[in-house]
């Protein structure tokens, strides 16, 4: 796993509907779920995750599921439709209940912060852990195809592109075939991206060669190659094979009558300059993948469909390599691999808070109708207790500004019931009636820092035997 996919950020699977929730408020809302508790479910059996359902949507915006941490999507399953189970009632009647088995599996790499190292000293590798987050009972593919359906996550299917109809205005360019050299009748146009084989040179007209064959590509219009056809290799590029030339960036002849097709220019560099050489034309109807971007231009990766649409041809489409104008394209998406567990050939990077999917439907035998449901669990195949122990030891050597948790030791804090007269000028006293907390408390410093001013009180007292005041914070 690359450095870019180490966990740097975290996110809850759902954003709160209103305001910002602290961890305690999140846990309180999650406890309202109708079932699916961790580690033992309502049926008394082991349950490795937690559920979000209709009882939690009052607090959480459950319109989409978010990834909980930076990582990589490594596998998914998405059914075309939810399968069904048949249940029988006490009277012998039966009914079918849908259940979602669609899921997404994300791999994460957690690593403790690096310690400061002296110059010339090799850094000590910090403790690390590989863990996974699993999102189950997600929406099926049919749920993404209807009217007003949500957009599927980026890893379901592949992003593909086509030329917009109103942007297919660039003419076909290429190399003229003439019946005689120089000023002879134009027989056809060989589009950019084609490769040709030439024969002997013309005995009179220097630089003109007999056309023997179009070895990759086509002619526009389609013509049979005869011995009385001539081309000018000075407008082509020599390939590694003797006598074979590529109709490339220097071939810019246009014949609108013979080759009326239009499309979108493919540029050599994608720098936006008017003199950026044209290396080919993508016709309307062709589908292709894109690679890297230079801003307004993206690199053409592969033409996947429409290779037989003129001026393209199946054997020459791969010769067109360059950049296309992103604003002239419309995006589409290939359908995912449905109804099976699909392991991505290349893991898909995903950030905390990015879209994982949407709630699917699940109906238990005691449900009157299908419920929208998410099962979320986190697990690791490594030694988690050992990682925690190593991380605790490692944290002792970190700078204070990297420490984000506050530990309050048992018997060092006290719970005092709130009274109307308690305020900044009249804080509680340690001698007030209350309950001593007999367990260690681990509290996020951010939780305390985020409290309003009237919820952070302090009392300064000086003991008779000491000149140093003692500060008690509430």
Q: What average pLDDT score do residues 310-336 get?
A: 92
Distances (CA, A) of 17 to 14, 62, 67: 9, 9, 17
* Domain residue limits, the chain: 15-153+338-385, 170-332, 404-473
The tokens describing 176, both together, are 């003229």
**CB-based contact 258:189 (threshold 8 Å):** yes
pLDDT in tens, 100-152: 999 999 999 999 988 888 787 888 899 999 999 999 999 999 998 878 888 89
Where are the alpha helices (H) located in 298-413, listed in sequence order?
384-395
Task: Provide the token pair at 179.
Answer: 């019946």
Residue 287 pLDDT greater than 90, yes or no: yes
Q: Residue 1: pLDDT above 50? A: no
Q: What is the pLDDT of residue 460?
A: 75
Cα 356 from Cα 376, distance rounded (Å): 11
The full DSSP string for 273-288 is: -TTSPEEEEEETT-EE
What pLDDT sits at residue 54?
Answer: 92
Q: Tokens representing 38?
A: 């961790």
Q: How many residues does the chain have?
A: 474
Q: What is the mean pLDDT of the chain?
A: 90
**Residues 142-187 pLDDT 10s:** 998 878 888 899 899 888 899 999 999 999 999 999 999 999 999 9
Q: Sign of dihedral through CA atoms 384, 388, 390, 391? A: positive
The percentage of the chain sitting over the pLDDT mark of 90, rounded to a whole number, equals 63
pLDDT tens-place string over residues 195-246: 999 999 999 999 999 999 999 999 999 999 999 999 999 999 999 999 999 9
| pLDDT tens track for 7-55 | 999 999 999 998 888 778 888 999 999 888 899 988 888 999 999 999 9
Q: Which of 231, 160, 147 is nearest to 189 (CA)?
A: 231
CA distance 258 to 254: 9
């Amino acid at each position: 796993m690359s450095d870019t996919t180490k966990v740097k950020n975290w996110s809850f699977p759902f954003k709160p509907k209103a305001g910002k929730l602290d961890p305690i408020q999140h846990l309180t809302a999650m406890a309202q779920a109708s079932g699916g508790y961790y580690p033992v479910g309502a049926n008394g059996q082991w349950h490795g995750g937690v559920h979000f359902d209709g009882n939690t949507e009052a607090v959480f915006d459950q319109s989409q599921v978010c990834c909980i941490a930076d990582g990589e999507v490594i596998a998914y399953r998405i059914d075309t439709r939810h399968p069904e189970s048949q249940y029988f009632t006490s009277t012998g009647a039966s009914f079918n209940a849908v259940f979602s088995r669609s899921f997404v599996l994300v791999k994460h790499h957690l690593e403790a912060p690096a310690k400061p190292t002296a110059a010339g000293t090799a850094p000590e590798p910090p403790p690390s852990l590989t863990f996974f987050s699993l999102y189950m009972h997600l929406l099926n593919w049919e749920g993404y195809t209807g009217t007003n359906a949500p957009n599927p996550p980026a890893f379901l299917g592949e992003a593909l592109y086509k030329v917009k109809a109103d942007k297919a205005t660039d003419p076909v360019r290429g190399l003229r075939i003439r019946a005689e050299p120089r000023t002879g009748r134009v027989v056809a146009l060989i589009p950019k991206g084609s490769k040709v084989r030439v024969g002997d040179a013309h005995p009179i007209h220097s630089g003109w060669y007999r056309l023997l064959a179009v070895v990759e590509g086509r002619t526009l219009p389609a013509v049979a190659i005869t011995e009385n056809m001539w081309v000018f290799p000075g407008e082509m590029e020599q390939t590694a094979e003797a006598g074979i030339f590529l109709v490339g960036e220097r071939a810019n002849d246009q014949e609108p009558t013979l080759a009326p097709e239009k499309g979108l220019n493919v540029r050599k560099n994608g720098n936006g300059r008017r003199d950026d050489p044209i290396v080919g034309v993508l016709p309307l109807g062709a589908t292709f993948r894109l690679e890297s971007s230079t801003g307004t231009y993206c690199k053409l990766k592969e033409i996947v469909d429409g290779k037989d649409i003129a001026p393209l041809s199946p054997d020459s489409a791969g010769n067109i390599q360059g950049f296309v104008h992103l604003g002239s394209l419309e995006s589409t998406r290939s359908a995912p691999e449905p109804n099976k567990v699909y392991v991505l050939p290349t893991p898909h990077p995903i950030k905390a808070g990015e879209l994982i999917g949407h709630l699917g439907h699940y109906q238990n035998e005691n449900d009157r109708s299908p419920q929208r449901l998410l099962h979320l669990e986190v697990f690791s195949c490594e030694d988690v207790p050992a990682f925690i122990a190593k991380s605790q030891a490692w944290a002792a050597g970190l700078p204070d500004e990297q420490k984000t948790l506050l530990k309050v030791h048992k018997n060092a804090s006290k719970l005092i019931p709130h009274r109307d007269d308690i305020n900044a000028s009249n804080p509680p006293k340690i001698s007030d009636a209350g309950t001593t907390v007999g367990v260690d408390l681990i509290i996020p410093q951010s939780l305390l820092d985020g409290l309003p001013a009237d919820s952070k009180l302090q009392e300064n007292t000086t003991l008779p035997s000491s000149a140093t005041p003692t500060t008690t914070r509430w």
